[in-house]
Amino acid sequence: MRVEKSNFTIVRMARLLEVARSGYYAWLGRAPSKRAVRQERIEQKISWFHGESDEVSGSPNILADLREDGEIISRKTVAKTMRRLGLRGICPKRWRTTTIIGHADAYPADAAKRQWDVGALNQIWVGDITYLRTSWIPAVVATV
């Protein structure tokens, strides 16, 4: 009704919506409830903690931050509030195995023909590469 107040009279809107004008005016002057005040405070804290973590933290980390800050709140409430605010944590990507096992044609031809001792140094070189799973960045180890 407040939004359409410039287009229609309060009397007409109250009649169409089947509410009392006095109820509308009472609602306008009413202070926010304790629940609404707490919810607004929680939303501000969740937004702040999420921003401080460079938008990485999800609901478990935000929950720990809120509890450390003195809030008594459940994990589901934090998750629901984050969904309502459109905030999401970043999950690490699932590790994908890149090695193909059991396919003989997937391996390159054996250039050394398994003859490692050819009588001179630096005639045959062998290399290998492997991927290491780390918590932050992918790591590759190459040996020669």
Q: For residue 96, what pLDDT is reported?
A: 77
Q: What are phi and psi of 9, to 5 degrees?
A: -80, 155
What global pTM score does this model have?
A: 0.54
Question: Quick check: is 116 in a domain?
Answer: no
Q: Mapping DSSP to helix (H, G, I), strand (E, B) and coil, where does residue 140 land?
A: strand
What CA–CA distances, in Å, run from 67 to 21, 71, 108, 109, 144?
A: 43, 5, 56, 60, 51
pLDDT at 121: 83
What's the pLDDT at 112?
Answer: 67
Residue 114 lies in a domain: no
Question: What is the reported pLDDT for 102?
Answer: 66
Give the tokens for residue 123: 């005639």
Domain range for residue 34? 3-85
Q: Note whether 127 and 142 are within 8 A (CB).
A: yes
What pLDDT is stored for residue 136 in this prediction? 76
End-to-end CA distance of the chain: 76
pLDDT for 38 = 96
At residue 40, the pLDDT reads 96
- Tally the domains of the chain: 1
Query: Which portions of the chain are predicted below pLDDT 70?
Result: 99-108, 111-112
Task: Tell me, yes or no, whether 66 lies in a domain.
Answer: yes
